[in-house]
Structure 1
Amino acid sequence: MSTLEPVSKHLPFELNSSNFCLITILIIVISVFKLTKTRTKKSKVPPSPFKLPFIGNLHQLGKLPHRSFQALSRKYGPLMLLHLGQTPTLVVSSPDIAREIVKSHDVVFSNRPQTTAAKIFLYGCKNVGFAAYGEEWRQKRKICVLELLSLKRVQSFEFIRKEEVEEMVNKIGESCESESVINLSHMIITTSNNIVSRCVLGHKYEAPHGSSSFGDVARKAMSQFVAFSVGDFFPSLGWIDYVTGLIPKLKATSGELDAFFEDVIQQHKMMKRNHEDHRHDFVDILLQLQQDGMLDFELTHDHLKAIILVSFSLSLSLFAKDMYVGGSDTSSTTLEWAMAELLRNPAIMKKAQEEVRRVVDKKSKVEEKDVGEMKYLECVVKETIRLHPPVPLLLPRKTSSSVKLRGYNIPPKTNVYINAWAIQRDPEIWERPEEFVPERFENNEVDFRGQYFELIPFGIGRRGCPGVSFGIAVVELVLANLLYWFDWKLPEVNTTSAQDMDMSETYGVTVTKKLPLHAQPTMPHL
């Protein structure tokens, strides 16, 4: 062939004007088809707000993510796909969709995203909260449910709750004599910490350990646990967390916690060797299980410390809340919000006090069996948890495979947040959702143990919290005693009305009241 011959001579057809037009039309049709197909495929993904290059939707999250998610969901729907950096994130704000996840796809949604902090603090995520879904996780959860958090075990710690609550009542009584205003938030936190510490570790551990108290280290750990990690949102840029100093800080704090829990374990082993008589706590139970070797996996020291540190979830779940660090925090947070709402609503407080005092009558102390008869107090607790779930975004899940949900394609390795806070304030579900109205639960079978999806503060499905009974026992007993023994009012220096009390939130491992709650107790004439 001459190099000057036209290429058209060697084509299977003659490239004349008619054929050229035909090819052009064919290219346009194919392009339109592909474009339509691409759009159709995209339309099968849940609605998403506009995202910026690289950072995705991160710029649309404020300091209170549960509120940011709620605002976006109102515009884009109760099933919404965000891109937080390089991480696809599904946000669920509907009880019906939450129910569908549990009833139809719970296994697919049962994994956890393992954050940078979780990997460091929890020995490679060996605890219950962040462990990958599978047989080992089932065995660990079984330990928590049957050995640590059964109703029988919760009842066995009644003496600890009684003793710590009595000590709290005595301290508040001293303030009544001097007509002092007390930091009620601090009082509640101390009592909750002591109860959980004694049940889990066997002792109160506020004595100095090294250069600071364990409480200081635990609070630092909780703050760092939710610190922004570049690697969590941009896995390819995880090295930046070393440059910023985040990972060295996490490892330093983790080392302090590890030393503390190692010391606790060795003390318990020594007591056992010396046959010292003491009431068994969670550490003793775990050590006995380790010694018996009856489990289907090896219960190593790292497993023990990870379960002790944060595997005892007393409320719903945002990050890892297990035995100690998160346990006391969620109970105290619920109590703080409950007392704040009661102080804002004196008529509701009076009604609750009348019930508590009628049931207890003139006994010398409030018994836990009495608390079971306080139906309105139960309504107060339910309404508190509805309005102020300590962990408003349930502990995140991660899809293990692709799944179709409500006609949308959800890709694998998608983080999933169920916004319990938004569901529990949804005006389509709740009448006057922003108001504190305990009466809504009178003659109402809705409960918070995971069966009613409009009230899910303790999580749902396989990954629901196993510590509901333990946490509620603490909250109800402490609250009943605060209402029985004392009358309460806001400090007189507070010039605003009770309804104008600052109820703003601060975000951490739990969502707490931003400003501590101060109140003045007085002794009632019982």
Structure 2
Amino acid sequence: MADFQGYFFLFVLWIISTILIRKFFNSNSAKRNIPPSPFALPIIGHLHLLAPIPHQAFHKLSLRYGPVFRILLGSVPCVVTCSPEMAKEFLKTYENAYLDRPQNSAVVYLTYGSKDFSFAPYGSYWKFMKKIVMSKLLNGTTLDLLLPVRHDEINRFIKSLSQKAKVGKAVELEGELVRMSNNVISRMLMSERCSEDDNEAGEMRKLVTEIAEITGKFNLSDYIWIFKNLDIQGFGKRLKDIRRRFDSLIEGIMKEHEEARKQKSGGLKDLLNILLDVSEDETMEIKLTRENIKAFILCFEWKAGKDGNLTTVDMEEGVGITLPRANPLVCIPVARLDPIPLSI
């Protein structure tokens, strides 16, 4: 009986606190003229309304609360827009207020404190990196110089299909296209094929798969404040292990490039070499550190995607990385493939 009374008291206390919190938010909403919001539960906010398919849940909420409404993802306030007109207001009319991409603890840690290009806060560093990307890394001259890389990978791809066709072996074309695109990007970036059987390429492929997985998982500490300093899901330990392995691998590749540069050995200059040139250029307004370069490589490799269904390359994204900041698509173009010399 005593246990029942205790539980009943806690239940009543929870109801009263919920009503008071709701009343408090409603009064503040009226004062600040903020968008309407569904009833929120303590601690988790509106997370219970998003399962199992978030975009369908948003549509149902918009039918009741209008094209713009406010939700709480745990303790993180968010505004949802569900109409093209309102989206235009957010992404065009008030673009400067919504330039930064949302970050979580995994992204921040793996990118050395958001020192990459995709998730760097909008400011002088991001503008500098965009200028480097457009003027040095992905300009017409660089893409033309790396044309042999793309031709070689296309020839490998066609030869592979031809050999499998001769023996009547079925081919999963989507997977082969993704693998070819990933090899092109990886070779353009640091002269390494991601689909080779050697240990280094296999480790890179495995790392990128793990990065794509862990950055896409829901982390309680990012959304619920009471778990902020707790690692109850084991994310912190996994992140440290992944970044340690990535850092060791990329450090080795960078040292190989630096050794080759000292010996002034000929060969094709990849994007990592260009980044090393920028880091050594004293006339640049911002000095690139090794962490900047590593985060940049991680960004490119991560966006490229690797084998499996965790992340893939959308062949129709285009030159997304050089488009305005509001564009959510980021990829390295596998473009300018014509003329393609076929030598099967």
TM, length-normalised to structure 2? 0.80
**Cα distance between partner residues in 2 of 1:161 and 1:105:** 39
Task: Rate the CA distance shift 1:289–1:64 in 2: closer, same or farther, 3 A.
Answer: farther
Distance change (3 Å), C-alpha of 1:92 and 1:471: farther
Query: In structure 2, what residue type is equivalent to 1:122?
Result: T
Q: Does structure 1 residue 324 correspond to structure 2 residue 314?
A: no
Residue 257 of structure 2 contacts residue 273 of structure 2 at CA under 8 Å; is this kept in 1?
A: yes
Question: Which residue of 2 is the match for residue 217 of structure 1?
Answer: 207
Greater gyration radius: 1
Task: Confirm whether residue 89 of structure 1 aligns to residue 81 of structure 2.
Answer: no
- Aligned CA-pair RMSD: 3.3
The answer to whether residue 325 in structure 2 is matched with residue 471 in structure 1 is no
Secondary structure at the aligned position of 2:169 is classed as coil
C-alpha distance after superposition, 1:222-256 (max 9, x if no partner): 10111221221124422222x33111001101111
Instruction: Answer yes or no: is 1:462 the counterpart of 2:325.
Output: yes
Instruction: Look up the match of 2:5.
Output: none
Q: Secondary structure of the equivalent of 1:144?
A: helix
Residue in structure 1 matched with residue 275 of structure 2 by the alignment: 286
The residue type equivalent to 1:40 in the other structure is: A
SS in 1 for 2:180: helix
Q: How does 1:262-411 map to 2 (within 5 A)?
A: 262-310=251-299, 323-328=300-305, 332-335=312-315, 381=316
1:103 Cα deviation after fit: 3.5
Please give the secondary structure, in 2, of the residue aligned with 1:47: coil
Deviations 1:59-78 (A, max 9, x none): 12235544443444454333
How far apart, in 2, do the equivalents of 1:142 and 1:79 lie? 35
Equivalent of residue 216 in structure 2, options 226, 245, 257: 226
Letter of the aligned partner of 2:182 in structure 1?
N
Q: Which amino acid aligns with 1:473?
A: A
**Structure 2 CA distance for partners of 1:36 and 1:207, relative to 1, 3 Å:** closer
Q: Percent identity?
A: 25
Q: SS at 1:462's partner residue?
A: coil
Gaps spanning 5+ residues in structure 1: where?
1-33, 311-322, 336-380, 386-447, 450-456, 486-526
Q: Which residue of 2 aligns with 1:426?
A: none
Distance 1:38 1:466, change over 3 A: closer
CA pair 281-38 structure 1, distance change in 2 beyond 3 A: closer
CA contact (8 A) 2:73 2:223 kept: yes
User: Is the 8 Å Cα contact of residues 130 and 322 (structure 2) preserved in structure 1?
Assistant: no
Q: Does the 8 Å contact 1:119/1:125 carry over to 2?
A: yes
Answering whether residue 109 of structure 2 is matched by residue 132 of structure 1, we say no
1:129 Cα shift? Answer: 1.4
3-state SS, counterpart of residue 334 of structure 1: coil
In the alignment, what sits opposite 2:186?
197
The C-alpha deviation readout for 1:37-85, integer Å capped at 9, x for no partner, is 756336x222333322211111122355444434444543332321100
**Counterpart residue number, 2:243:** 254
**Kept after mapping to 2: 8 A contact 1:92/1:98:** yes
Partner of 1:271: helix, strand, or coil? helix
**Secondary structure in 2 matching 1:89:** strand
- Compute the displacement of 1:282 (Å): 0.8
Amino acid in structure 2 at the alignment position of 1:471: P
The match for 2:65 among 64, 76, 83 is: 76
Structure 2 residue ranges without an equivalent (≥5): 1-23
Q: Distance in 1 between matches of 2:270 and 2:53?
A: 36
**Which of the residues 139, 152, 157 maps onto 1:150?**
139
- Contact residue 117 and residue 225 of structure 1 kept, 8 A: yes
Task: Answer yes or no: is the 8 Å Cα contact 1:102–1:460 preserved in 2.
Answer: no
Q: Give secondary structure in 2 for the equivalent of 1:49.
A: coil
- Partners of 1:288 and 1:460 lie apart in 2 by 24
- CA shift in 2, pair 1:161/1:210, >3 Å: closer
- Aligned pairs, number: 314
1:165 and 1:36, CA in 2 relative to 1: closer, same or farther beyond 3 A?
Answer: closer
Task: Give the TM-score normalised by structure 1.
Answer: 0.54
2 CA distance for matches of 1:275 and 1:264? 16
- Conserved 8 A contact 1:82-1:91: yes
Contact 1:149 1:467 in 2 (8 A): no
Which piece of structure 1 moves more, 95-104 or 278-287?
A: 95-104
Deviation larger for 148-157 or 299-308: 148-157
Is the 1:85–1:233 contact (alpha carbons within 8 Å) kept by the matching residues of 2? yes
Partner Cα distance (2:272, 2:321) in 1: 24
> In the aligned structure 2, how far is the partner of 1:36 from the partner of 1:300?
48
> Which secondary structure state, in structure 1, belongs to the residue aligned with residue 113 of structure 2?
coil
The one of 180, 200, 209 equivalent to 2:169 is 180
